């Protein structure tokens, strides 16, 4: 038992036991969407709860957050569907996404 507790303590000290986001988890995120260098209207939120695998966001968004850790910021690259808001339809965009929490 002492050995197990020691391993857990070492794991925590090294940060190796950090939670990583998996499908089914709810991640609390801040995000901002960019078309080129310009941030676009309606593409920003703070403390947004997103359940990974729910297909709530455009295709490709949630999948790129699987494996992320709390405090990590990722660039999520997607192409909006052709049947979308006219000024974004079919466009390649980047969302800057920060993971604030992961709820299992």
pLDDT of residue 22: 98
Q: How far apart are CA 46 and CA 44, in angstroms?
A: 7
Residue with tokens 């339809």: 89
Is the Cα torsion angle 76, 73, 50, 43 positive or negative in sign?
negative
For 22, 57, 92, the CA distances from 101, given in Å and listed in that order, are: 12, 18, 27
Give me the CATH topology for the region 19-103.
Chitinase A; domain 3 (3.10.50)
Closest by Cα among 97, 88, 104 to 48: 97
Domain ranges of the chain: 19-103
Whole-model pTM? 0.83
Q: Stretch 25-34: mean pLDDT, rounded?
A: 98
pLDDT of residue 103: 97
Per the CB < 8 A criterion, the answer to whether 48 and 33 are in contact is no
Q: For residue range 46-93, what is the model confidence (pLDDT) as tens digits?
A: 999 999 999 999 999 999 999 999 999 999 999 999 999 999 999 999
């Amino acid at each position: 038992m002492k050995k197990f507790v020691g391993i857990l303590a070492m794991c925590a000290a090294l940060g190796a036991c950090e939670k990583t986001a998996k499908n089914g988890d709810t991640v609390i995120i801040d995000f901002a969407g960019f078309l080129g260098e310009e941030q676009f209207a309606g593409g920003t939120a703070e403390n947004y709860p997103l359940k990974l695998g729910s297909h709530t966001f455009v295709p490709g968004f949630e999948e790129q957050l699987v494996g992320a850790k709390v405090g990590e910021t990722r660039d999520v690259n997607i192409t909006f569907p052709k049947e979308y808001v006219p000024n974004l339809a079919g466009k390649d965009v980047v969302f800057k996404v920060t993971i604030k929490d992961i709820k299992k």
